[in-house]
Amino acid sequence: MRGRLVEERADLLERPAEEESGIGGAMMTLVDRSGNDVEQVLTRTGTGLFELSPPDPGEYRLKAERIGYESTFSDYFRVEVGDTVTVRMTARVEAVSLVGIEADVGRRCEVRPEEGLAVARVWNEARKALAAAAWTQERGLYQYEMLRIRRHLDRRGRRIEAEDRSIDSAYTDAPYVARPVDSLVAGGFARITSSESVFWAPDAAVLLSDQFLDTHCLKVTDGGTDAPGMVGLSFEPVRERQLADIAGTMWLDPRTARLRWLDFSYVHLNVPGSLLAAAPGGRVEFETLPNGTWIVTSWSIRMFLPGEAIHPLTGRPAATLDGITVQSGDVLRVHGTEGVVYQGHTGGRIVGTVRDSLQVGLPGARVFLEGSGTEVVTDAQGRFELTHLRPGVYTVYYTHPYLEELWYEPDGSEVEVENAWVPAELELSAPPLEEVLDDICNDGSRPRAPVVAVDKVAWRNGVLTGVVTDEEGQPLPEATVYLQAVAYEAGRTLIESSNRMGGNEGLENMRLRFNERTSDSGFYRACWVPVGIPLEVLVVEKDERIDRDALEEAPSLADLFPGRVQVITIALDNPYHSLDLRVGQAR
């Protein structure tokens, strides 16, 4: 059957059909004689056209529902096999307002409230949005680009200690899909054992299901400070139900009667009170699109992270709250046949600038949060923006290629994101290279006296870093990097230096030596080596058999290890030098 839904207005009664205003985005439901909803479809935007397919011959009528308006029913009509029925249906332009509805103070919540009650009126509007969301999801009308986030908060739930993010590379058919309602009603919304804690959130189909409505009661709630200006429809499990369950509130805009979001908490968890301090629960946010479809734009579940400690009074192990884990998903974009139909909000933001030691914007700096997936690179002016953040205190870190080469990690800076509308601002200043070198090499041990070479005096201001790899290019841990220069420390007599070097005479035979061990990642760092004079560099593997005595007495490393020694001179005006080494050859 085919049909069209148009507005019922006095000034349109005498106008031709082509001038009538079609109503788009209304839910048309085919209802049988027993009052059962048989099939549903949304009317098309702009035209109000719709198509439905009765499953069997019989008598039916149509129900037209729009959020914020009274429902309209047609007369019953009969459909036979092979019939093509065309229906023109008019809908009353009679707005529904939830303004003035007061909370049911003192009244018990109602299971399937009767028509006429305020709670039934609010539920009817919430139900329309949920039905449209369930219908949209069931038919897979859209594909979603999702940002999924797992946050680890401290036990107070205020400081974000780590945040891991991932963006779905392939489109998904729904932001999230709840566990089957039969399982949730029979087994509960949470499973908590000694080895794991698993929580499930409801979706629109669950909230609309007979199983959920038969085991939960409804009540009108005032928005108060949690949702100022909103009308709430609270739900909770009936008294006889003691499984792990959810209680919560659907929040509606009283002026438009539109459902905005759902807050819920977990109840009957049967866990120590210390864990309940995490306030386990979640939120689901809804949005309507211009064509009348409804989607979930954001969801989150908040869970406790349990630990164990010795109780100070009993001396026995007791459960403690180690932290809070929040799993969430934000819709970045929604794609339909006509292209992008929804663009997500950027959420909370941290904006700022990374500046160099001269307070000029530093391009190419990497700004990130603890965890993975939350980082950006500063632009040509050193500016950055971190987006899709929830309220809380974050620690922001930064680095830059010149700092990474030195394996230097600046301290993080704390900043609080208070809401999604006002960005938090943060200014970061990178230290000058000299300060970095002093920090990583421990300024207290920096030699103040020069070294004496054959034809000059050299200062030990240099820092040499790099990565040592094996023949296949893999990082080589616990290798030794030897460095040697033709020089000796000022302040030592020639005789002292000659004796120390095995009796050789003459400045040309004096040697200044260093050696450094590589880290697990093959990194090495040699601090306060001389600048402006040649420096031999050799790498020796951990288990390589060499003559250590000969190495100590050798006038030249290149004579002992031909083809394996690199000779460098660190510039006077640039005391930092980077040199990567490969075992068995100079690079």
pLDDT at position 230, please?
94
pLDDT class of 360 with cuts at 50, 70, 90: very high
Name the band, by pLDDT with cuts 50, 70 and 90, for residue 368.
Answer: very high
Query: Which of 169, 568, 491 minimizes the C-alpha distance to 332?
Result: 169
- Using the predicted structure, report yes or no on whether residue 382 has a pLDDT greater than 90: yes
**Partners of 569 in beta bridges:** 534
> Residue 505: its pLDDT value, please?
47
Q: H or E segment at 553? A: helix 548-553
Provide the sign of the torsion angle of the four alpha carbons 249, 216, 303, 312, taken in this order: positive
Tokens in use for 1?
């059957």
Q: Any idea which fold 348-431 has?
A: Immunoglobulin-like (2.60.40)
In tens, the pLDDT along 477-504 reads: 999 999 999 888 775 544 444 454 444 4
pLDDT at residue number 508: 52
Each residue of 411-460: pLDDT tens digit? 999 999 998 889 999 999 999 888 888 888 876 577 888 888 877 889 99
CATH 2.60.40.1120 residue ranges for the chain = 2-92, 348-431
Tell me the CA distances in angstroms from 153 to 302, 330, 396, one per residue in order.
10, 19, 15
Lowest average pLDDT, out of 322-331, 341-350, 575-584, goes to 575-584
More confident residue, 13 or 516: 516
Predicted local distance difference test score (pLDDT) of residue 12: 47
pLDDT at 509: 58
| Range 196-206 average pLDDT | 91
Cα(334)–Cα(172) distance, rounded to whole angstroms? 10
Distance of CA 48 to the CA centre of its chain: 40
Q: What is the pLDDT of residue 337?
A: 86
CATH code that applies to domain 436-582: 2.60.40.10
**CATH 2.60.40.10-classified regions of the chain:** 436-582
Predicted local confidence at residue 131, as pLDDT: 93
Residue 194's pLDDT is 74
Res. 349: pLDDT tops 50: yes
How far apart are the C-alpha atoms of 135 and 571, rounded to whole Å?
A: 71
Those residues whose C-beta lies under 8 Å from the C-beta of residue 451, and which sit 6 or more positions away, are 457, 458, 459, 460, 485, 487, 488, 489, 490, 512, 530
Neighbours of 342 (CB within 10 A): 19
Instruction: Give 316 or 323, the one with higher predicted confidence.
Output: 323
HSE-CB of 153 using CA atoms within 13 angstroms: 22
Q: What is the pLDDT of residue 112?
A: 87
pLDDT at 133 over 60: yes
Query: Among candidates 103, 96, 99, 102, which has minimal Cα distance to 129?
Result: 96
Tell me, what's the pLDDT at 173? 75
Which residues fall within 8 angstroms of residue 552, CB to CB, at 6 or more apart? 513
- Per-residue pLDDT band for 10 (boundaries 50, 70, 90) equals low
Residue 422 confidence (pLDDT): 92
What's the pLDDT tens digit per position in 27-39?
999 999 999 999 9
- CA distances in angstroms from 420 to 165, 235, 253, 349, listed in the order given: 18, 27, 19, 7
The yes-or-no verdict on residue 114 having pLDDT over 90 is no
- The strand pair at 86-92 and 2-8 is best described as parallel
- pLDDT reported for residue 570: 94
Considering the four listed CATH numbers 2.60.40.1120, 1.10.3720.10, 3.20.20.70, 1.10.490.10, the one that applies to the domain covering 2-92 is 2.60.40.1120
Residue 315 confidence (pLDDT): 73
Q: Residue 362 is encoded by which pair of tokens?
A: 């530093």
Task: Give the percent of the chain with pLDDT over 70.
Answer: 93
Please state the rounded mean pLDDT for residues 225-247: 93
Mean pLDDT (the chain) is 87
pLDDT band at residue 585 using 50, 70 and 90 as cut-offs: low
User: What residue ranges in 400-489 does DSSP mark as E strands?
Assistant: 413-417, 424-429, 451-453, 457-458, 462-469, 480-485, 487-489
